Amino acid sequence: MRAAFGERPDWEVELGFGKGRFLVASAAADASRPFLGVEMVSKYFRLAARRAAWRRLSNVVLLRGEALYLIATLLPAGMARTVHVYFPDPWPKSRHQRRRLLDPRTVDLVLALLDPPRGRLFFATDHLEYGEAVAETLALHPAVAVERVAAWPEGPRTNYEAKFEREGRPIVRLVARLRGGGRASLLHPAGRDDLLVGPAGGRRASPGAL
């Protein structure tokens, strides 16, 4: 299956598609491009699958499972022209924040999906602390350029976003790309430092050794 995903570099990938509003509508609007959705919650996965089947969409693939695990084990690097992450679980408690989809320890896995130079990561959240943390994580990445946007050109992209806009909640929206059009060969410095652990009692490896 990894080889099948790697046959073309223009996949549109949504990690955590929820009820599938954005994924299904986007696939229906552009039958020439392949769309991949990843979702852990079974009831949302089944709902999106029914919606895609009802529209007879042949350009949609859905995977049920944990996004980081599937990226690490199944999905090839450089497969996606676009990766979408909208309103993921912010894991607000400090002891749970290592589970976040985008933080210094995990962001390189997600960025590796992008095909340069066109690849883009789109992110949105109503959880402002998490949004600022993701903005900082992307801004500190040596291979990434990031910008904030006030709104998407075509309007809300998910059920959550439409609801939160009606309620007047502030939303953090970010667009990231790989600098210079190259692959993210440089690791995020904070995530890299987590990897540089030597034997017990030994010295940490020098960053220049990577």
pLDDT of residue 205: 44
pLDDT at 206 over 70: no
Q: Tell me the helix, strand and coil percentages in the chain, rounded to 5.
A: 35, 20, 45
Active-site positions read 89
pLDDT at 199 over 60: no
Strand order in the sheet with 11-15: 60-64, 35-39, 11-15, 80-86, 120-125, 172-178, 144-148
pLDDT of residue 183: 54
The pTM of the full predicted model, rounded to 2 decimals, is: 0.86
pLDDT at 106 over 50: yes
pLDDT of residue 201: 46
| Mean pLDDT, residues 87-110 | 84
Q: What is the pLDDT of residues 129-173, one digit of tens each?
A: 999 999 999 999 988 999 999 999 999 999 999 999 999 999 999
Q: What is the pLDDT of residues 51-81, one digit of tens each?
A: 999 999 999 999 999 999 999 999 999 999 9
Task: Using alpha carbons, select from 97, 96, 89 the residue that is nearest to residue 18.
Answer: 89
Domain spanning 2-194: CATH 3.40.50.150:
yes
pLDDT of residue 181: 54
- Show me where the domains of the chain are located: 2-194
